[in-house]
Structure formats: C-alpha cells, structure tokens
Amino acid sequence: MKKHIIIVGGGFAGINLVKSLANDNRFTITLIDKNNYHFFPPLIYQVATSFIEASNISYPFRKLFSNYKNVRFYMGSLVKVIPETKTIETENGELQYDELVLALGTESNFFAMENVQKYALPMKTIDEALYVRNYLLLTMEEAAKNEKIKEAPKLQNIVIAGGGPTGVELAGMIAEMGQYIAEIEYPEINRSFSNIYLIDAMPVLLSPMSKMAQKAALNKLQKLGVKIILNVAVKDFIDEKVILANGRVIETETLIWTSGVIGREIKGLPESSIGKGRRIMVDEYNKVTGLNNIYALGDICLQISDDKYPKGHPQLAQVAIQQAKNLGKNFKKIEDEKILSPFIYKDKGTMAIISKFNAVVDLPKFSFKGFTAWCTWLFIHIIPLVGFRNKLRLAMDWLRLFITNNPSIRLILRPKRNNS
C-alpha cells in the first residue's frame, strides 16, 4: 500500500517537500492550500507598491504538479486535526492520512491591539498586497483632489510599523517612487505635507542582521527622506491617528503593518505541543512533540534541539527549504528502514534591498553592501521563483523598471459583479 502523506500549506516548505517525494511510487502526496497558487513572499512588497505584477511571483499548483504522477492538489482550508483517527477536517470534508505535515506558515501579529488589527494594512499574502496597492493609489488620488490643508497630513503621511527587511524594503521603495513618480504625475499634491515614517520598537533597523547592514539601512533611508522612529512601539490606531507608546501622535489614514508574525492557529493539537509565538514544538526530525505521524515545517515550527539555535531557528525561507528536504529524505529512509538524519540548519546568510542599486548582504563569514549587494539580491531572489517564464519575465521587468524608474501597472482595480 502506498503511504498517503498530506501536506498542509504550499509555501517554501510544502513545495520543496512535494518535490523531494515527487514520482516516488511508494507515496501518494496530497497538498492542501486555501489558494490555488504558490507565491514568493520576499517580493510581495514590490506587488504592494505597483512595481511588479502579482503573477510575476505566483504559479498555479496544478500546473506545477502536472508532471508528478503521485501528487494531487486539494484547494481548501484546514479546520481541525484529529490525531486519534489520523484524519483532518477541512472546510470541504475529512481526509485520511498516514503522515501529516503542517507547513501553514504565519500570519500578522497585532499584539492584541484591536484597532490596529481592524484598520491597519497587513502585508502577508498576495490578496493583502493587492489591497495595499489599491489603497495607496486611491489615497493618492484623494490627496490630489483635497483642498483642505488641515486634511493633507492624514492623506499624505504613510506610517510603516516594523523595521525588519519587509519594512525597510517597503519604505525605501515608497520613498523612491515618491521622488521619481509623485512629483511628476501628481502636481496637485503639496509634498511638504507628505512624510514616510518607519517605526520599530527595537533600537536598530534590521535587528537580526549585522551592524554594518543596520547602519547602511538607517543612513540610506534617512537620505531618501524617511523619518525613522526607533525604541518605541505603536500603541493604537484610532481616528486616523497612529499613537505611539511614548505619547506621540502621527496623523495618517495609512498604517502598513509589518511588525511581527505569529503561527497560524491549528485546532486539535494539544496545548503542550504549542510554544512561544504559537509555533508548533518539534523534535530534531521535525515531528510534533507528543504526537505520532504529524510533522511541522518552516515558520510555524519551533525546533530547539539544534545547539546553535536553542531558542529556535529564524523564520526564513532557507530554514523551511532545508527542513523540507531533510524530512523528504527521512520519509524515504523510513521506508528503507534506515537511520533517520536530524535536521541541522546551514546558515546561508540574509539580505535586504534598501533602494535602487543599494542593498545589504550578510553571509556567514562576511558582509557587504551597495551595488554588488544589490546585484546579489536580484540574482538570489530570481533563483527560487517557480517556473522559467516567471524568472525571465521578472528579470526583464526589473531591467526595464530600474532604467525608467516608472512602473506602468499603477491600475486601481476593484472587480465586482455587474448585476445589470
């Protein structure tokens, strides 16, 4: 009998596990995802700022799996895990598994701030990025029509909460687009009322990276005109005002939230299996603590067995990819009755783009910045894209856009059914 492996989540971990087991006739693989496509999260901020199309970083699961004889795609959301019967409940019914792999990733963490959760703009999914794109463009149009000076700051100010790679990259791109595009295409707007704020509770930007990267990001963003506020957290967002923990108030209609993540809630797992940040506790083989036949990969799992990472691995794509490949090998070793290999993370470095022709790269043994780092960033971010067409199209789009400084996809699209 073929072993049925259900994988929930089609991100980096899920896709790489599928690939490692594809066309192995000992397994039947079912990938479950609420979307019908895989997408590349590190470039989602470029979708939100109208720099690239969503299709540049997305690829349909069914097309991806079309040459895999033992892989099936099931579109739906996970409702509950039932370990006792080795079944999962989805919104469309129940499925039986022999092995279950949870790779659902994370969602935005609003730290129990109801107003922030209700009114801020998260940016974790393609849908959210497209919403941010429409929101920014609509707000610009409102600012262009506005004749009341007292309303200008709230229409023209943009506040970004979170000084990690996404926040830094987003702030840099919005600042550059303001210089290259807004001044030319929105002459009605008085830019003296426009400000971009980047806020973080940490004392530095890019806190997990090197001091060189932190300083480079700070200096470049300040040169671009970004107002950086450190050592203070966002406390509330009410009446079109961002309220900071130190009492400062910033008028704005636009608060983009990139400040933190939390593991997606999975019903049916015992509380003893859930760790800090709602991440699922796993052993050195990525098996969920206290359960049999259930594994967790990527951002949603918390593995503290690696001596170099006693508090868990960083929530990076490379961790998810390496864990998936290791688990795929272990599933095969189980069938071959061989000794399993524990997961050991091999750090390949981190990077962030700050602005055009300017990035920072931290490798295990050294760091560098500037144009060389920018070229490295571009190359590294094209390699993982699924599909040759996506890689070629994105490379050509980047070449054109970095030359012209003017993306032409700033379309306000609000699809709705015509009932006439």
Task: Look at residues 259, 291, 321 and tell me which one is the last residue of a structural domain.
Answer: 259
Half-sphere CA count of 204, side-chain side, radius 13 A: 12
Q: Which two tokens stand for residue 17?
A: 């596990």
Q: Tens digit of pLDDT for each residue in 341-355?
A: 999 999 988 999 888
On whether both 275 and 207 belong to a single domain, the answer is no
Where among 311, 336, 361 does a domain terminate?
336
131 is a domain residue? yes
Are 33 and 128 part of one and the same domain? Answer: no
For residue 148, is pLDDT > 80? yes
Q: Give the model's pLDDT for residue 408.
A: 61
Domain tally, the chain: 2
Weakest-pLDDT range from 112-126, 133-147, 282-296, 371-385 = 371-385
- Domain limits at 328? 3-108+261-336
Lowest mean pLDDT among 261-270, 292-301, 409-418: 409-418
Residue 397 lies in a domain: no
Query: Among 4-13, 26-35, 37-46, 102-111, whose mean pLDDT is lowest?
Result: 37-46
Residue by residue, DSSP assigns 311-367 as T-----HHHHHHHHHHHHHHHHHHHHT-PPPPP------EEEEEETTEEEEE-SS-E
* pLDDT tens digits, one per residue of 68-121: 999 999 999 999 999 999 999 999 899 999 999 999 999 999 999 999 999 999
Whether residue 385 has pLDDT greater than 70: no
Average pLDDT over residues 166-190: 87
In a domain, 287, yes or no: yes
Which carries the bigger pLDDT value, residue 193 or residue 223? 223
Residue pair 5/98 in contact by the 8 Å Cβ criterion: yes
Same domain, 121 and 24: no
| Overall average pLDDT of the 215-240 stretch | 96
Lowest mean pLDDT among 294-308, 351-365, 376-390: 376-390
Who wins on pLDDT, 103 or 188? Answer: 103
Candidate from 41-45, 128-132, 210-214, 252-256 with smallest mean pLDDT: 41-45
Could you tell me the pLDDT band of residue 296, with boundaries at 50, 70 and 90? very high
pLDDT tier at 55, thresholds 50, 70, 90: confident
Domain boundary among 210, 225, 259: 259
How far is the C-alpha of 349 from the C-alpha of 274, rounded, in Å? Answer: 28
Cα 323 to the center of its chain, rounded Å:
18
pLDDT at 384: 66
Same domain, 71 and 148: no
pLDDT given at position 176: 86
Same domain, 123 and 158: yes
As a whole number, mean pLDDT of residues 317-331 equals 96
Closest CA to 358 of 175, 125, 230, 157: 175
Q: If residue 60 lies in a helix (H) or strand (E), which one and from where to where?
A: strand 58-60
Residues 123 and 213 in one domain: yes
pLDDT tens readout for residues 210-227: 999 999 999 999 999 999
Residue 196 pLDDT:
96
pLDDT of res. 420: 44
Q: Is residue 369 part of a domain?
A: no
CATH, residue 94: 3.50.50.60
Percent of the chain's residues with pLDDT above 70: 94
